Amino acid sequence: MKHTHKCHYSRSSLPLVVAFISFLPFAVSANITMQDAVNIAIQHDPWLTGNQLQERALRAAIKGADSLPDPMLSMGLLNLPSDGFAFDQEPMTQFKVGLAQAFPRGDSLAIKQQQLSYQADQHPYQREDRKAKIQVAVSTLWVDALKADQTIRLIERDRVLFEQLVDIVKASYSSAQGNTRQQDVISAQLELARLDDRLTIVKSQRDLALIHLSEWLAPTAHQAVSETFAANVSLPNLPELADAIQVLLQRADNMSLLQLLAQHPALLAIEQSAKAGNTAVKLAKQKYKPQWGVNASYAYRDDTPLGQSRSDFFSIGITVDVPIFGYAKQDSEVSASRLSAQTIETEKRLLQQRMLSQMLGLYQQEIRFEQREEGFLNAILPQAQEHADASLSAYTNDDGDFSEVMRARITQLNAQIDLIHIQTEKFKTRIQILYFLTAQKFTNNTGEYK
């Protein structure tokens, strides 16, 4: 029976094909870097813009917080007779104009200003925390897309080899040379189909990661990212940890790490919120103090019906509230303000402990990834390569089984894909660790960052 196939290969030519495919180039230059994507995401983040507007609103409110309440102007007719409504009939009929001014309790104006200032000071820290989170989110999506992209290119590269294996086993079976069986042909075709299905799954993962990445980027930048991945992009260099930080993480020095985390912008924002809460307690205590007010009025009287002049009246006085109903209301407001401030302090401690736990856990994960990476590079990949070469050599010398050749090549491919997974996950772990070390980049006592 005559058999037609794409190319004619012999068993002796198969090792040369494998060697050629193994040395194909794997990475070329990229059009846009991961950090470029992060910077674009930060520049186009509407949350940062909204947060800045909120801060400006609070700063504007501070300027007006020290102003006294508006004075109250009053006007009225007093003692107008009802039997004729004549303004000059009765001597007590007056047209009165008054002005009253209330004064805030104690130092409530200055305290309110301080409270607004603390609330405004939260926002720069919140923005820096947001930027650090964007760094993590965009970098993670970038690496997820990169992992899928490198896996795709690896599968596509090895797919050429599997196609050659299918062609060779078909040719060997058609020529009735060696011990090739129909089962080998079916097995080779099945593995190729499974490889295509795997390729489809990974392409879907890459597309999904790029779609999620596009949520952070402008449309023009998304196009640049797509072109970058189309041209092949490599994993960036692993960001470095300072030696002093590594020592603290290795020792699990909780006290030193907690002191380090205390300068994290997320915690500094909560600290400003706590200060505002303590100021609210002071503001509530001002209600124990009396509220004073002054008033003045001028009353005009008309001349008598006989033309005699009547004196006008001028009045002045003060007002003060009298706490005759006790201090129950003030006590409850102060207690509520104090409990709210304590709640904020508790949230800060909980967040600090959670951040410490997460950072130490991530560091342990990174160590395990490094150990696995070393094992793959020094043992698993070389042994998988050796096994694949040995099974191929045995098959080309009519001393091996073709199914063993396929299994060895699949094992080698899986090991290479696992290595990509380990390296990218290690990179993502380092990015997450660096989020907790954001305080090392900027800190001063003004609420602004350099």
Q: Which tens digits make up the pLDDT trace of 79-88?
A: 888 887 787 7
Mean pLDDT along residues 179-201: 79
Tokens 């301080």, located at residue: 114
Q: How confident is the model at residue 73 (pLDDT cuts 50, 70, 90)?
A: very high
Q: How confident is the model at residue 450 (pLDDT cuts 50, 70, 90)?
A: very low
Q: How confident is the model at residue 57 (pLDDT cuts 50, 70, 90)?
A: very high
Find all residues with CB under 8 Å of 201, minimum gap 6, and list them. none
Integer Cα distance of 120 and 118 in angstroms: 5
Lowest mean pLDDT among 104-108, 141-145, 225-229: 225-229
Tokens 């129950």, located at residue: 328
Structural domains in the chain?
11-440 (1.20.1600.10)
Instruction: Say whether pLDDT at 448 is over 50.
Output: no
Q: How confident is the model at residue 163 (pLDDT cuts 50, 70, 90)?
A: confident
Tokens 């856990």, located at residue: 361
Find all residues with CB under 8 Å of 324, minimum gap 6, and list them. none
Strands (E), 110-206: none
Q: Which tens digits make up the pLDDT trace of 322-331?
A: 766 667 777 7
Mean pLDDT along residues 177-181: 59
Mean pLDDT along residues 226-243: 82
- Residue 424 has a pLDDT of 94
By 3-state DSSP, what share of the chain in percent is helix, strand and coil, each rounded to 5?
65, 5, 25
